[in-house]
Amino acid sequence: MVILQEYYGEIDGRTITAFTMVNDHGMEITCLDYGCIITKIVASDRNGHFENIVLGFDSIEEYQKYSPYFGAIIGRFAGRIKNAEFNLNGKTYQLAKNNNDNHLHGGLQGFDKVFWETKTALEADSTKLEFTYLSKSGEEGYPGNLLMKVTYTLNNKNELIISYKGESDESTLLNVTNHTYFNLSGNLKRDILNHQLTIKSRKFVELDERLIPTGKILSVENTPFDFQNGRKIKDGMKSGHVQNWIAGNGYDHPFLLTEQQNKEIILLDEESGRELIIETDEPAVVLYTGNQLEAEESYSIRGVPSRNYLGLCLETQGLPDSIHNPHFPSSILKKGEVFQSVTKYKFGIKS
């Protein structure tokens, strides 16, 4: 096991450091102390070719100019909050309206755009990066001084384990996730439309045309949202299902997990043989298939022109806009409570 550190760039005169963890089988994960951004995950295909399998850049300027949260930790609240406001214990809090009059992904300077104190640890069969950030009361409009700790662990079982811990001195909202875009083809050789996805979920959240939950939980039965027995992502592109259309001809939906820590999410690229198994203790996962990657201003990702469906996200988390939907699992973190969650990403080859 090895951890390498190197200069990556600067923002406002503050140095950004890139940390690369390498395990004994040649798997690599590179991330930044800015936004805990995962810039690269290098994994083998069935023929032993090690290639990058996530969307990322090689300069901070590109992240600042183009990145739709590539690889970043998202918070305080992942997903949308309707009308960018919420009421908690009789007080109304106004948040940034950074997405069609709604609040998205923690606001203008969420967890993805702050510096995290970083500690490294090297053990016989694993390497760890421990990121810490104190989100001051009032930051992005949220109450409470919130101490966040995020740990990335790479081990010799080709697993990336992300653990989250949060404590606040006032009741607040916390719904945190990692926003990595996966593309198992390797070095973006192909898009993700032929990736096969399995999700152990019987229900998904209905969205309105601004991608805000309507409050309805829909059954996946007999729809393109039924991933229980595996399905190609492309099914959602031209399905004609109104929810695929609303998402921009794809998926951008939370799925309620019916099982935790039992191979509940499996992503497979048959051509390379690469397989990713995700297990989590979170109640849901948001599947976003990169339907909006084609931006007004074209850009390239390590030389590959950005286009829709070049990567997909599987964001394990609570449900968006839960504060306005009391029947959703709550994302209220009470004063003195400790929020903890763990998501494991196991990279392998389909036998």
Cα–Cα distance, 44 to 186 (Å, whole number): 9
Catalytic residue among 140, 167, 264, 315: 315
Helix ranges (H only) for 31-168 are 60-66
Q: Reduced to 3 states, what is the DSSP secondary structure of residue 184? A: coil
Given a contact cutoff of 8 angstroms between Cβ atoms, the answer to whether 272 and 46 are in contact is yes
User: With binding defined as CB under 6 A, does residue 181 bind ligand G6D?
Assistant: no
Least Å distance between CB 78 and ligand G6D? 8
Question: With respect to ligand G6D, which residue has the nearer C-beta, 80 or 274?
Answer: 80
User: What are the E-state strand segments in 85-211?
Assistant: 85-88, 91-94, 103-104, 117-122, 126-135, 146-155, 159-168, 172-173, 177-178, 181-182, 196-199, 203-207
Rounded to whole angstroms, what are the CA distances from 236 to 147, 197, 222, 244, 309?
39, 12, 13, 6, 11
Question: With respect to ligand G6D, which residue has the nearer C-beta, 127 or 289?
Answer: 289
Question: With respect to ligand G6D, which residue has the nearer C-beta, 295 or 338?
Answer: 295
Catalytic residue among 103, 105, 179, 253: 179
Is 130 among the residues known to form the active site? no
Binder among 3, 46, 68, 170 for ligand G6D (CB under 6 A)? 68
Question: With respect to ligand G6D, which residue has the nearer C-beta, 85 or 294?
Answer: 294
Question: With respect to ligand G6D, which residue has the nearer C-beta, 69 or 309?
Answer: 69
Binder among 69, 133, 152, 182 for ligand G6D (CB under 6 A)? 69
Is 61 among the residues known to form the active site? no
Q: Between residue 185 and residue 214, which ones bind ligand G6D under the rule CB under 6 A?
A: 211
Q: Reduced to 3 states, what is the DSSP secondary structure of residue 80? A: strand
Least Å distance between CB 120 and ligand G6D? 29
Least Å distance between CB 137 and ligand G6D? 26
Least Å distance between CB 292 and ligand G6D? 5
User: With binding defined as CB under 6 A, does residue 252 bind ligand G6D?
Assistant: yes
Mark 256-295 with x for binding to ligand G6D (rule: CB under 6 A) and - for no binding.
Answer: --------------------------------x---x---
Q: Reduced to 3 states, what is the DSSP secondary structure of residue 318? A: coil
Least Å distance between CB 231 and ligand G6D? 20
Question: With respect to ligand G6D, which residue has the nearer C-beta, 69 or 111?
Answer: 69
Q: DSSP for 186-255?
A: STTSS-STT-EEEE--SEEEEE-TTS-EEEEEEE-TTSTT--TT-EEGGGGTS---HHHHHTTSS-EEEE
Measured at the CA of 338, the angle between CA 335 and CA 342, to 5 degrees, comes to 145
Q: Reduced to 3 states, what is the DSSP secondary structure of residue 324? A: helix
Given a contact cutoff of 8 angstroms between Cβ atoms, the answer to whether 231 and 255 are in contact is no
Residues lying near ligand G6D in the complex (CB under 6 A) are found at 68-69, 211, 252, 288, 292
The residues annotated with a catalytic role in the active site are: 179, 315
